[in-house]
Structure 1
Amino acid sequence: MNIKSISFFIGAFCIASFSFDQAGAQTIRFAQVPQPTAARQSKITVQSEPLQQSADTLRLELKEVVAMAKDQSIASKQAATLKETRYWEWMTYKSNYQPQLSLKGILPGYSKSSISVQQPDGTIDFRSVHNNNSSLDLSFSQRISQTGGTVYGSTSLQRFDDFDRNNTLYNGAPYSVGLIQPLFQFNSLKWDRRIEPLKYNESQQAYIETMEQISINASAYFFDLLLAQVDLQIAETNLNNTTAIQKIADTKFEMGKVSKNEILQLQLEALKAEKAVGIAKRDMEVATYNLKAYTGLQNTDKIKLSLPKSTVEMKVVTEKALTEAFQNRSDAIAFGRKLEEAKRDVAKAKGDNGINATLNANLGFAKSGRSIGSVYQNPKDQQLLELAIEIPILDWGRQKSRRKTALANQQFTQYAVAQDKQNFTQKIITEVNLFEMMKGQLLLNARAEQIASEKYQIAKERYVLGNLSITDLSIAFQENDQAKRDYINSLRDFWGAYYQLRYLSLFDFEKNEKIKL
């Protein structure tokens, strides 16, 4: 066999090449190249390829997958439901400071029975009772957050019907006002005003964080499937290349140019390549299912992913990231909330000191009569003033222990929050540095992938021409595959760091604005 016939076999090789979309819609493809010399001169090319959806294949970019996950995934719906729950809890809290109007009554209060009645001489006589005792009470109340007390006003009317004696009586309080004021006790309303707004703001920011966490998870599923698709394309191309090389080697073996050992080695490589295709198909099916399940995709037979961009036009400054994180993150809000809760617990321990005193004052008018109108004619005034007191005499140091425990817990919370702030700050700094590092690693891996691809093409040609061993060809073969996977993994790391930075700061450095939903 002469050089021309060998060149004919070389021209039949299936040579792998990557093409990348400049607009970010890159797809990995393998093309037939007519001459090996073209592979020696090949570079990473840029070609525009718009996304399109065929009957059974959906082409997606990374940001489209992230958007779908945020919009229709189960995780996003759970986050929205939790946000709504926190909203109604907030409205419940606000209602505690609003006036309350209520109507209470007993309609009817009918009774027919026999009761025991003590006689003047001490004996018991049983009397028949047949009556109706109905009542209505309309009351208005307002809690005072500064003191913890309650002011109220009410109007009431009562009707009593004695059916045995055919007698009807009315009794009512046309209006009355009063005050119930706890003394020397813990005021929960005052502390709720300081803590509940922090909890609500924390829940709002936690919702945004959850959506950014969904972006991180969706990105991970995206690259799982992208890597699986790349592995399948590599495996199929390697199988084709190995088959082509094996045919040439068989011809050279018949000519006595190669040994039986090389033939067996190529047969083993072919079996490995075929096995790799099967494994890659399995992995792609699993990755496709995981992506569909997380993003909520339905009725889509196939998904084809595009390589995301390898650069993002944004500048990340550590000081800016820290400032935004401490303004936006729910963790930063939680730092203040935990300190306020610790102060509240100390105040509660001091307020619940066993001394319970309550002042109850009421001023109003009341009257009874045989008709409703008579109740409201010249009613008589009524007053109530009482002070209830309970003072512990001996508690064996129980109240002191509670105060000391609350103070110790407050001190522990202060230390814990200080440590959390340090960890939070360090995490932001580390993530900013990691993002910058990933950008550099991505460029290196892109260059390494290009070099490995060119090296592999040259190694194949040299083997066909007979001046390269099968071992060296196998090494170039493996290096080429690994370089392609390393590049995809570096893309994963870069975009993972990008979404992680958004999650930690809740700031969009591309648009230079806070993330709001």
Structure 2
Amino acid sequence: MNKIFTGVCLIACSFIAQSQQVYSLENIIGLAQQQSPQAKQAETRKENRFWQYRLFKADLNPSLVISGEVPGYTRSFGPVEQNDGSFQVQSIQRSNASVGLGLRQPIAFTGGLISVNSSLNRVENFRLDTRDFNSTVVNIQLNQPIFAFNQFKWDKKTEPIRYEESKRSYVEEMEFVSRTAVQRFFDYLDAQVNFQIAEFNLANNDTIYNIEKGRYNIGTASEDKLLQVELQLLRSQQDLAQAELDLQTSRLGLRTFIGLNEGENFNLLLPESILEFPVSEQIALQYAKENRADFIAFERRRIEADAQVAEARGQRFQMNLNASFGLNGAGNTYQESFQDTQDQQIANIGLSIPIVNWGRNEARMKTALANKQLTDYVIAQEEQNFEQEIITQVRQLDVLRQQIEISKKSDEVAQKRYEVAQNRYLIGKIDITNLNIALTEKDTAKRSYISALRSYWIAYYDLRRLTLYDFANQELLYTIED
């Protein structure tokens, strides 16, 4: 009978183990990077920035545009110029149609625009029963601002840097997803350990209560001690109820973050294996400066500050050169409009120079210069903070390794001390107060060990995020594409 019972228990335990999925820290991080909302948001931002950069590149390339106007009909009264130059109000009834083809090319070096155009216009006068065609065989136009702010020039400096920032920021965001996964992992692991502690304490206090109750019945224990143990038992029941609620809450938070099914049960493995790798402050700083988006952003922000100064300088006065040369013609038929074409030449320079503006230009210029100086100061401070953050993280990682060794040893000692105290209590060598002290120290040591592991793994993934380098495997997390 006992063999049958044992066999049933083993089968049941095997079934439970198969239905209970066990995840390591690496499993949780992998799931978070694949399907967490944070990871998907990072992917979307990366794609968005890619298309923004593609748009910038496309704006620098030539564009071929076809334009036109389908035949439109007009019927009204209006002034019509006569042969002697006078005007008479007459009935107007006509139709207009046009088609054009243009090739446009921005000039990034100068900020101008050059275009080559060709067009054909048709006007039909129903009142006079005439048709006229006007053609432009070719027309070359140049629009060139002089001494003006050249947005193309500065965008060619900043946009490639901004795009490079976005690619590095994506890797940093994914490392932050890993960090968040570590936090969620240990939130659930804390709740899991607390639940196990609460279950153990409840069972243990129930046993102690029964022992004290038996001693009280035979007169070897006082009622005060029995009530103390009973109160401890009630607190254990309350702690277990709270621990179960915390476990369910943290499980839901982790499941939602990594996208697990609602009905899937799982447990977590304690990541006790600590990565051993040397990290020097100088090497960490070197990788951070070479790889981090923030560091190349410093250069972009300096360029943008210079661009603001250039823009303020370019707004002092405005001058535009407009020039065009082409061949056009006219006729009563399509063929005639392309015969005997004549030169069409236009050239003008427009000026806008303020005479009295009450110091606006000077104020605008001084503001831009002050903003540039402020940017330089802010970046200098951020560079110091940047270096300090790296140095602090490296030093913290070394300290946390030592704390894990100490807390793990403390956990082992506290566990052994409790076992000794429990045995001494059972034979009446110590009272319940000393046993409770040993129990509290055991639980505190276990929680301190879990907390030390949490701090270590968060610090490790923070170092990866801050340097974009995996020191454990000695490989870059991001490489610049050619």
Aligned twin of 1:73: 36
Aligned: 1:212 with 2:163: no
**For residues 81-92 of structure 1, what are the structure 2 equivalents within 5 Å?**
81-92=44-55
Contact kept, 8 Å, 1:56 with 1:300, in 2: the verdict is no
| DSSP-derived class of the 1:113 partner | strand
1:368 is the counterpart of 2:327? no
Among 336, 340, 345, the alignment partner of 1:383 is 345
Q: Deviations over 1:117-172 (max 9, x none)?
A: 47799997532211111111111111111111111111111111112222111110
Q: Secondary structure of the equivalent of 1:315?
A: coil
Structure holding more helix per residue: 2
State the distance in 1 between where 2:59 and 2:89 align: 49
What is the alpha-carbon distance in structure 1 between the residues aligned to residue 80 and residue 385 of structure 2?
76
Any idea what SS the aligned residue of 2:76 has? Answer: strand
Q: Residue 106 in 1 paired to residue 69 in 2?
A: yes
Structure 2 counterpart SS, 1:109: strand
Whether the 8 Å CA contact 1:130–1:163 is kept in 2: the answer is yes
1:467 to 1:55, Cα distance in 2 relative to 1, 3 A? closer
Q: 2:56 & 2:264 partners in 1: Cα distance?
A: 49
Q: For residue 222 of structure 1, what is the aligned residue in structure 2?
A: 185
Q: How many angstroms apart in 1 are the aligned matches of 2:196 and 2:162?
A: 51
- Equivalent residue, structure 2, for 1:175: 138
Residue identity matched to 1:412: L
Q: Residue 510 in 1 paired to residue 480 in 2?
A: no
Does the CA contact (< 8 Å) of 1:115 and 1:127 recur in 2?
A: yes
Question: Which amino acid in 1 is paired with 2:286?
Answer: T
- Cα deviation 1:405-451 (Å, max 9, x = unaligned): 11111111000000000001001100111111111000000000000
Answering whether residue 226 of structure 2 is matched by residue 272 of structure 1, we say no
Q: Is the 8 A contact 1:363 1:384 kept in 2?
A: yes
> What is the one-letter code of the residue matched to 1:461?
N
Q: How does 1:158-173 map to 2 (within 5 A)?
A: 158-173=121-136
The TM-score normalised by the length of structure 2 is: 0.93
Matched, 1:501 2:463: yes
Q: Distance in 2 between matches of 1:365 and 1:190?
A: 33
Q: Which residue of 2 aligns with 1:247?
A: 210
Q: How high is the sequence identity, in percent, across the aligned residues?
A: 37
Aligned partner of 1:203 among 166, 174, 177: 166
Contact 1:229 1:284 in 2 (8 A): yes
Is the partner of 2:423 in helix, strand or coil? Answer: helix
- What amino acid does structure 1 have at the position aligned with 2:293? S
Structure 1 residues 506, 121: CA separation in 2 closer, same or farther (over 3 Å shift)? closer
Indicate conservation of the 8 Å contact 2:120/2:134, yes or no: yes
Please name the residue that 1:461 is paired with.
423
Q: Is it true that 1:491 corresponds to 2:466 in the alignment?
A: no
Q: In the TM superposition, what are the counterparts of 1:251-400 in structure 2 within 5 Å?
A: 251-353=214-316, 355-400=317-362
TM (norm. structure 1) is 0.87
User: Paired residue for 2:378?
Assistant: 416
| Structure 1 unpaired stretches of 5+ | 1-51
Structure 1 residues 509, 268: CA separation in 2 closer, same or farther (over 3 Å shift)?
A: same
2:91 matched residue in structure 1: 128
Structure 1 residue 313: Cα displacement: 3.2
Whether contact under 8 Å (1:58, 1:300) holds in the other structure is no
> CA offset at residue 309 of structure 1?
2.9
Q: Determine helix, strand or coil for the equivalent of 2:71.
A: coil
Could you tell me whether the CA contact under 8 Å between 1:452 and 1:483 is conserved in 2?
A: yes
AA in 2 matched with 1:91: R
1:183-231 CA distance string (max 9 Å, x none) = 1111111011111111111111111111111111111111011010111
Distance 1:415 1:53, change over 3 A: farther
1:103, distance to aligned residue in structure 2 (A): 1.2
Paired residue type of 2:40: K
Distance of aligned partners of 1:118 and 1:155 in 2 relative to their CA distance in 1, 3 Å threshold: closer
Code of the residue aligned with 1:222 in structure 2: it is F
Q: Give the count of matched residue pairs.
A: 466
RMSD in angstroms over aligned alpha carbons? Answer: 2.0
- Contact 1:57–1:300 (8 Å) recurs in 2: no
Question: Partner residue of 1:188?
Answer: 151
The offset of 1:485, in angstroms, is: 0.8
* Counterpart for residue 43 of structure 1: none
Question: Structure 1 53/81 Cα, relative in aligned 2: closer, same or farther at 3 Å?
Answer: farther
1:477 CA displacement? 0.9
Counterpart amino acid of 1:411?
Q
| 1:310/1:491 contact within 8 Å kept | no
